[in-house]
Amino acid sequence: MLFITNRVLQQGPTPMTDDGNSILPRSIDFDLQNNQAEQSIYLCRRNASGDYTEIGSLAFFQELRDSDCDELLIFLHGFNSLPEGVFSKAQELQSLLSQQQQRSVLVIPLVWPCDADRGLVQDYFDDQKSADASGYAYMRLIEKFFAWRENNSTLETPCLKHVNVLAHSMGNRVLRAALHLTHRYYQQNGLPMVFRNTFMVAADVVNETLEFEHEGRHITQASRNVVVYFAADDLALRASKVANVAGNIASRRMGHSGPERIEQTPKNVYAIDCNDFNTPYDPPIGHTYFTTNGSGETGAVFNHMWQCILTGRVPIAPPGMRTLILNDQFE
């Protein structure tokens, strides 16, 4: 499995030659006691549990280009997640996607630094800081990708793979920061549409995030479709709302209530209410409901995302609407 990380490595930063070239590949290990967000990024391969190799950006992007998949799915995990837990969820996603017909999809996890050893409350606020700080590293990743694309995808040899993003919970905070900083420092004239679908599942960001004057608007600029999955009885986000009190006002989370005013967001934003099934899918919290249902079969959110990947359009009825109450029977 290919993956990208800005976690601290026990071996330190990528070694360089005197003339500025990377000395790669190299074997690496995570320093799990250090959840500092590096501004460096490491493009790597997971060979087996606990066995990782840094291969560098040129080899990484070339391997993606040469792969026989039709689609890429970048997976941004939520808070309180250590690397092997992230890889386990990514493998589950990959297994489900590999069972589908018509299109092949490669899952690429982005492993940002979380703290999982000091209690959930302390971890939550530590992870918020790490998520925001990780934006700088993934801003650099986006620019590395743009530079690689300039030199390696021409009219003679185009790369036709679609890039999709699945951001879960606090991973949406990382995505928002990365694109906001990319616009601020590199793409001041506007972000190119690099993502076909951006799936924001149980997003732990304020519910005004995607509105025109907020930082998350850059997510909508960089995506053909932005699909927000939310559930009112997501207990993790109910707690998050209370934790994120500004003054005397609790900050509603987008993954809890959906976009605050969808008419104040661009027309490529869709709000999908998952309240009818999120708790049976992930009892008792109802926060991680984007893979299987209670019986281990592909769930409604996964099936909905698959149709978006397959067609490039968001299944919604009647056509032209931007909101939908999803039901557990969606296939």
With beta carbons less than 8 A apart as the criterion, state whether 249 and 206 touch.
Answer: no
Tokens 């209410």 locate to: 273
Structural domain span for residue 159: 68-325
Predicted confidence at residue 180, as pLDDT, reads 96
**Assigned domain for 37 exists:** no
Instruction: Report how far apart, in Å, the C-alpha atoms of 100 and of each of 11, 104, 146, 287 are.
Output: 39, 8, 30, 24
Find all residues with CB under 8 Å of 211, minimum gap 6, and list them: 217, 259, 260, 261, 264, 265
Predicted confidence at residue 248, as pLDDT, reads 45
Count the helices and strands in the chain (H runs, E runs): 9, 13
Which DSSP string do the residues of 203-260 spell out, in sequence order?
--SBTTTTSTTSTTHHHHHTEEEEEEEE-TT-HHHHHHHHHTEETTEE--BHHHH--S
Q: 3-state class of 73 per DSSP?
A: strand
**Assigned domain for 33 exists:** no
**Assigned domain for 41 exists:** no
Around 21, how many Cα atoms within 13 Å sit in the side-chain half-sphere?
5
**Assigned domain for 164 exists:** yes
Q: Which of 37, 59, 315, 328 is nearest to 197 (CA)?
A: 315
**Assigned domain for 217 exists:** yes
**Assigned domain for 239 exists:** yes
What is the count of structural domains for the chain?
A: 1
**Assigned domain for 174 exists:** yes
Whichever domain contains 203, its CATH number is: 3.40.50
**Assigned domain for 75 exists:** yes
- pTM, rounded to two decimals: 0.95
In one-letter notation, the amino acid at residue 224 is R
* pLDDT tens-digit profile, the chain (331 residues): 999 999 999 999 999 999 989 999 999 999 998 989 999 999 999 999 999 999 999 999 999 999 999 999 999 999 989 999 999 999 999 999 999 999 999 999 999 998 766 545 556 778 889 999 999 999 999 999 998 888 886 667 778 899 999 999 999 999 999 999 999 999 998 899 999 999 999 999 999 999 999 999 999 999 999 999 999 999 988 766 445 654 444 578 999 999 999 999 999 999 999 999 999 999 999 999 999 998 999 999 999 999 999 999 999 988 889 999 999 989 8
Find all residues with CB under 8 Å of 281, minimum gap 6, and list them: 288, 289, 292, 293, 294, 299
